[in-house]
Structure 1
Amino acid sequence: MKMVSANHPIYIDRVVEDSSQHTLTEGHFISPLNAYLPESIPEESRIARFQLLLPKKWKHPYLKPVCLHLAGTGDHFFWRRRALMAKPLLRESGVGSIILENPFYGSRKPPDQIRSCLRKVSDIFVMGGCLILESIALFNWCEKMNFAPLCVTGISMGGHMASLAGVSWNKPISIIPCLSWTTASCAFTQGVLSGAIPWQTLEDQYVQYGREFREEVKKMIHSPEQNEIFNAGRQFAQNFPSSLDSMPNESANKGEEQNQDLKLDCINFMRGIMDECTHLGNFGPPVDPELATIVTASQDAYVPRDGLIPLTEIWKGSKLRTLEGGHITAILFNMNVFREVIASSIRLNAQKHYQQEL
């Protein structure tokens, strides 16, 4: 990716753990997005921080497989991914790990942000832009350090960010998105999380821009799911009547039908904006889609898949693995499956692109 220099400076700061089996270090670098949108990134988020977990002795004579782990919603700092994914992955399969701290999370969280609740819709896009470019910077650095094959993974929101980062890399890479799908919009406009969105505030702001301006912006938005947008809004209204019915009328002289149309229009506009920036149909496929395995849950209410273009259609040749249960149960009881899929894809990567067995 031309937006990130192959020599973007990355620094190792200190050794956190030094055991007989592994070394854990911490490092940092300036987020590459800061060069393009400095005014949009909170000061606390401009420095990307990561942990690097490596074995003292690699299993292969010269291949050094490393997996980049991106954070899911609420996954602050490093400890959860380190304990549940990185260390077991190293012990079981000899795969090293980079654990990147999310912008707006942990030490990168703005002081006026409450926990994981982003203050603005635009922060979602800034987070995504930061993570894509930061991942590319780390992939470049891994190449300089002779780490290979490479993999990127994440769970839930981290899974979608991993997909975006993986398709933005111009070389074969294993991509393992866990409990995510084709677009991030469905989670916010159809899934369980949609009930936590302050729709009244967004509706009020949406109306302020005026109809003519809104129509012009709509023409600039491209969603591969365009034919489904209105139905998605209608489905949201049916599934969450309490959240919509509790919203006061925009004005006393507007009928209920017109007010309902405005609510649906706001939801659809939100989905269109998110599809423009996060729908994987708007990005090219991975260099080698066969290295991608998408792990989903059969009853995932957080990331609905109904009515969406399947990711396996966009990434021709990729594999789909479906776990029984819902979003939370999949996270609680299937970490071992996520690790197995990562290791399997890395082995395939080594066979196809390095002609080696791991």
Structure 2
Amino acid sequence: MSRLDQLYRRILISRLFTKGWGKPENLKRLFDCRKIISNREECIKLIPPDYPVHVDKDVMMDDHRLMEGHFLSPFSLYMADVMPKEVEIARFQMIMPKSWNSKLKPICVHLGGTGDHYYWRRRTLLAKPLLKESGIASIILENPYYGVRKPKKQLRSALHNVSDLFVMGGALIMESLVLFNWCERQGWGPLGITGISMGGHMASLAASNWNKPLSLIPCLSWTTASGVFTHGILSEAIPWRVLQTQYHEEQVYATEIKKLIQSPEDVVKAYGVEVSQGYPESVEELTQILSNLRNQNKDFIKKTYSNFKTDACENAMSLLKQVGTNNFLALQSNNDSQSRKVNEKSSTVSNHSNSNLRYISPVIERDNNSMKAAGKSRYLSLSYALAKTQIGKTKKSKAEEKQFSNRISEEALKFMRDVMEEFTHLGNYSQPVDTSLIIIVAARQDAYIPHEGVLSLKQIWPEAEVRYIESGHISAFLFNQKNFRQAIVDAFDKQIKKYY
């Protein structure tokens, strides 16, 4: 574990999820949404190829062409009551050549990592050098909850609720599809997507839903975010007392929402692999299990998809194309009849999410070797995570403290792990169309993104290439931007050689 990662975290004072898990009804709806958008065949239907994108600025700079634009996030049409108003408008900046000198017009979408507000960082470190060195243009998409999309009451990058992270992920998946479609309409391509840290993971989620070959370059990210928030360095930024108290006092988290998640051990047993015999050792067996688990969602999707694709959403989409984003938002806030339609749609989805369906989460935490290692690693235990995050520190007797901490704190920690696996584990999402176009750049001593005890990206996507940097998370970001850019160039080269 990198000492620089630990030191850097101590310098920062930001706290995450200070308002708790998020409204239970929102989490239920997000569970429904995740089942839809994690299935490429259904998700792609939610984004029309001609979804409107507006260019606000198009100027020639000294050495490049700069464009800025916006569009209404499709996520807001389907999850209107879950997405804050300040977050609804997706904004982007594009760095491209003044003129293209070949029939190839490569475009890479860049998603932001934690704390990456506005465009300047990605523009300076990645977009401009990529254009100058390799002729690859870039679209820099502003993350929901960041920059101009940050809610007024949010302090810096500190998301208020755990559920906000899932809104961000769902929105970025849909917004990336809008940009891919827009690029194709302009005659640009080949296409790719990248990001660093959280941005890399969001890029992986988005790439899983594009129905064509796509270069994917996730940097300093991994298979799931569960370890990030339970035993990674960021777990120290979480107010565990707030989460444990909310989990304990609002029974709906334990009695209803928890039932929507199935543990990895139960999933493995359900498919005939005894835990005592170890987790799947072969890639073929693992792939088959993940495929079977994904198929469990098909009946659910058939029942739920119609609730997303309502007349209200289709009418809103039609109106959006006719009047533009700004006029649409004005009509949306002033026109009572339009508001009622959106509310009817929201009510339909909300009512459905109260059903007694049990969801299966295709999450397998360990293969046989990593499971053995997990038994020896203090970083993977709940007791270690409890100690690191200082959960359950109360003015009780030692006996009471131990009993309370073990019962409540461990439950909250496990709930955090499980909901993160449900929403962020790449095993829950469709496999990208061509995984040979994926180049992963990871840091071996990463204290922010733990690799131990979970499936590796190589196991999820066998044909992907993994490149390791011998450093921690922070030093990899500070001193290896050139390696990230080279991975982007190489991933595009692979796509060009194979498809162009």
TM interval, shorter chain, is over 0.9
* Amino acid aligned to 2:470: E
Distance 2:413 2:86 in 1: 31
Distance 1:24 1:199 in 2: 44
C-alpha change, 1:189 and 1:255, in structure 2 (3 Å) is: closer
Number of the residue aligned with 2:364? 225
Number of the residue aligned with 2:149? 108
Question: Identity across aligned pairs (percent)?
Answer: 47
Number of the residue aligned with 1:269? 415
Is the counterpart of residue 35 in structure 1 residue 84 in structure 2?
Answer: no
* Amino acid aligned to 1:63: L
Distance 1:37 1:251 in 2: 46
- In the alignment, which of 325, 345, 351 is matched to residue 497 of structure 2? 351
Is the counterpart of residue 21 in structure 1 residue 63 in structure 2?
Answer: yes
- In the alignment, which of 179, 198, 205 is matched to residue 220 of structure 2? 179
1:320-348 superposed Cα distances (whole Å, 9 cap, x missing partner): 00001100000001111101110111011
Answer whether contact 1:218 1:269 (CA < 8 A) is retained: no
CA offset at residue 274 of structure 1? 1.0
CA offset at residue 218 of structure 1? 4.0
Answer whether contact 2:111 2:195 (CA < 8 A) is retained: yes
Specify the SS of the correspondent of 1:39: coil
Number of the residue aligned with 2:53? 10
Specify the SS of the correspondent of 1:168: coil
Answer whether contact 2:392 2:401 (CA < 8 A) is retained: no
Distance 2:216 2:144 in 1: 21
1:64-120 superposed Cα distances (whole Å, 9 cap, x missing partner): 000000000000000110011000000000000000001100000000000000011
Distance 1:304 1:242 in 2: 14
Number of the residue aligned with 2:201? 160
> Which runs of structure 2 are paired with 1:247-266 in the superposition (5 Å)?
247-248=393-394, 256-257=402-403, 259-266=405-412
Distance 1:92 1:189 in 2: 40
Is the counterpart of residue 194 in structure 1 residue 235 in structure 2?
Answer: yes
Number of the residue aligned with 2:353? none
Distance 1:268 1:249 in 2: 24
CA offset at residue 215 of structure 1? 5.3
Is the counterpart of residue 99 in structure 1 residue 144 in structure 2?
Answer: no
Answer whether contact 1:206 1:266 (CA < 8 A) is retained: yes
CA offset at residue 296 of structure 1? 0.3
Q: What do you get for the CA RMSD once the two structures are aligned? A: 2.3
Distance 1:8 1:244 in 2: 47
Number of the residue aligned with 1:325? 471
Distance 2:442 2:184 in 1: 30
Answer whether contact 2:220 2:449 (CA < 8 A) is retained: yes
Specify the SS of the correspondent of 1:44: helix
- In the alignment, which of 303, 323, 336 is matched to residue 482 of structure 2? 336
* Amino acid aligned to 2:50: N
Specify the SS of the correspondent of 2:208: helix
Is the counterpart of residue 133 in structure 1 residue 174 in structure 2?
Answer: yes
Specify the SS of the correspondent of 1:41: coil
CA offset at residue 315 of structure 1? 0.7
Answer whether contact 2:225 2:425 (CA < 8 A) is retained: yes
Distance 1:242 1:4 in 2: 42
C-alpha change, 1:105 and 1:280, in structure 2 (3 Å) is: same
CA offset at residue 42 of structure 1? 1.2
CA offset at residue 257 of structure 1? 3.2
C-alpha change, 1:239 and 1:252, in structure 2 (3 Å) is: closer
TM-score, with normalisation over the residues of structure 1?
0.92
Answer whether contact 1:154 1:176 (CA < 8 A) is retained: yes
Distance 2:391 2:167 in 1: 31
| Higher RCO (CA < 8 A, seq sep 6+) | 2
1:305-325 superposed Cα distances (whole Å, 9 cap, x missing partner): 001101111112000000011
C-alpha change, 1:313 and 1:238, in structure 2 (3 Å) is: same
Distance 2:453 2:474 in 1: 22
Distance 1:221 1:197 in 2: 27
Is the counterpart of residue 78 in structure 1 residue 119 in structure 2?
Answer: yes
TM-score, with normalisation over the residues of structure 2?
0.67
Specify the SS of the correspondent of 1:175: strand
Is the counterpart of residue 45 in structure 1 residue 184 in structure 2?
Answer: no
Answer whether contact 2:230 2:385 (CA < 8 A) is retained: no
Number of the residue aligned with 2:98? 56
Count residues in correspondence.
Answer: 352
Which one has a larger percent helix, Structure 1 or Structure 2?
A: 2
Number of the residue aligned with 1:151? 192
Specify the SS of the correspondent of 1:2: helix
CA offset at residue 139 of structure 1? 0.4
C-alpha change, 1:281 and 1:251, in structure 2 (3 Å) is: farther
* Amino acid aligned to 2:135: G
Is the counterpart of residue 68 in structure 1 residue 141 in structure 2?
Answer: no
* Amino acid aligned to 1:300: D
Specify the SS of the correspondent of 2:46: coil
Answer whether contact 2:238 2:389 (CA < 8 A) is retained: no
CA offset at residue 19 of structure 1? 2.7
Answer whether contact 1:237 1:244 (CA < 8 A) is retained: no
> Which runs of structure 2 are paired with 1:284-295 in the superposition (5 Å)?
284-295=430-441
Answer whether contact 2:231 2:380 (CA < 8 A) is retained: no
Unaligned runs of 5+ in 2: 1-43, 263-358
Distance 1:255 1:90 in 2: 58
Greater Cα offset, 190-199 or 221-230: 221-230
C-alpha change, 1:149 and 1:207, in structure 2 (3 Å) is: same
CA offset at residue 270 of structure 1? 1.0
Asked which structure has the greater CA Rg, the reply is 2
Answer whether contact 1:250 1:259 (CA < 8 A) is retained: no
Runs of 4+ in 1 over 4 A off after TM superposition: 226-234, 249-255
CA offset at residue 25 of structure 1? 1.0
* Amino acid aligned to 2:431: P
